[in-house]
Structure 1
Amino acid sequence: MNAEQRTQSGRRIDQLFASYSDDHRHPVNQRIHMVCVPAILWSVVALVWCIPVAGTLFRSGVWAALAMFVAWAFYNRMSRRLGLGMLAVFFFCGCLCRLIETRLGLPMLLKIAVAVFVVAWIGQFIGHSRWFEGRKPSFLTDLTYLLVGPAWVLAKFYRQMDWKY
């Protein structure tokens, strides 16, 4: 299905993906996004994971769980099948945060998250540079695209697996 057909389908998710795809045509930029977008998603979850929750039994993860739930609700509302996939992605992100926190401690999780965040964003901007895409990142026109990026990557995986979303 090409971008025009997706836009004509009328589903909001297809319209968002068509617009996002227009800003991500170069194959190198697309490959960079396949790596950097999931890395940024995990690093944001990890950064939020590190925010302490005073006055509770929980030292970490509460704000991340809340943020993941809100993001999942956005994805699930757009597409139940993508919502299920993003639920699995968020589960993996949470498990990885918990594993790193348990093994290395919360301060190390924070350091790793910051490093991954910085390196992945550098990759993103290289992909959008004049050498490859030559277009500004989609989120600079609409912050919603910060949420669309991870779903767009997952939808590409779904299409490779011949799954509908």
Structure 2
Amino acid sequence: MKTLQQQLGNYGLYHRSKRNVLTHLLGIPLIVFAVLCLLARIQIPLGGLVIDGGQLIVFVSVVYYLMLSVSLGLIMAVLLTILLVGAQPIAAMAFTPWLTISVGLFVFGWILQFAGHYFEGKKPAFIDDISGLIIGPLYVTAELLFMLGCYKKLEQQVTDIAGPTKP
């Protein structure tokens, strides 16, 4: 398994434009939220317990993030749980509003993503490496933390791999 620095650095190779990163700060959370809204409607019986698809994907994602970094994994656990709690009422809606909201958010999130990659002049990272789909949410969280002055050493390690950010 690649290290946290390698994962973020490789993803960062496709995200050096500030405009691209900014579109991702909104687009990726919208996509994740939309996916959780869609998956939260799927009921999965586990013994005497019933979980939904959103809970399962959050659990699996958080385990992966924790393997990369305990502190970032815990931050992701909190953020994904907040998104999941917000997704539950939407998943409980009647079919048409649930699907309209979920798909609408999903499409809008991807429009933002592709607009950002237009500014970047590069294709999305997941085209070359499917792991970009799980690294994307971690990357935007890390970028936001970098903007807040946190994780300076990690920021430098990512920049060493991906290069400097461009205006």
Q: Which of 145, 149, 163 matches 2:132? A: 145
| Structure 2 segments unaligned to the other structure (5+ residues) | 155-167
The residue that corresponds to 2:70 in the other structure is 80
Paired-residue identity, %: 30
Residue of structure 1 equivalent to 2:146: 159
Among candidates 6, 20, 28, match of residue 15 of structure 1: 6
Q: Which residues in structure 2 correspond to 1:93-132 (within 5 Å)?
A: 93-101=83-91, 105-107=93-95, 108-129=97-118, 132=119
Cα shift at 1:119: 1.2
If each structure's strand is expressed as a fraction of its own residues, which one has the higher value?
2
TM-aligned CA deviation for residue 89 of structure 1: 1.1
Aligned residue identity for 1:133: E
- State the TM-score, normalized to the length of structure 1: 0.81
Long gaps (5+) in structure 1: 1-10
> How many residues get paired?
149
Over aligned residue pairs, what C-alpha RMSD do you find?
2.2
Shift of 1:160: 2.7
CA separation of 1:22/1:95 partners in 2, compared to 1, >3 Å: closer, same or farther? same
Distance (Å, rounded) in 2 between the aligned partners of 1:151 and 1:128: 18
What is the CA–CA distance in structure 2 between the aligned matches of 1:163 and 1:90, rounded to whole Å? 20
Q: Secondary structure at the match of 2:149?
A: coil
| CA separation of 1:106 and 1:13: change in aligned 2, threshold 3 A | farther
Letter in 1 for 2:75: G
**Counterparts in 2 of 1:54-93, with a 5 A limit?**
62-93=52-83
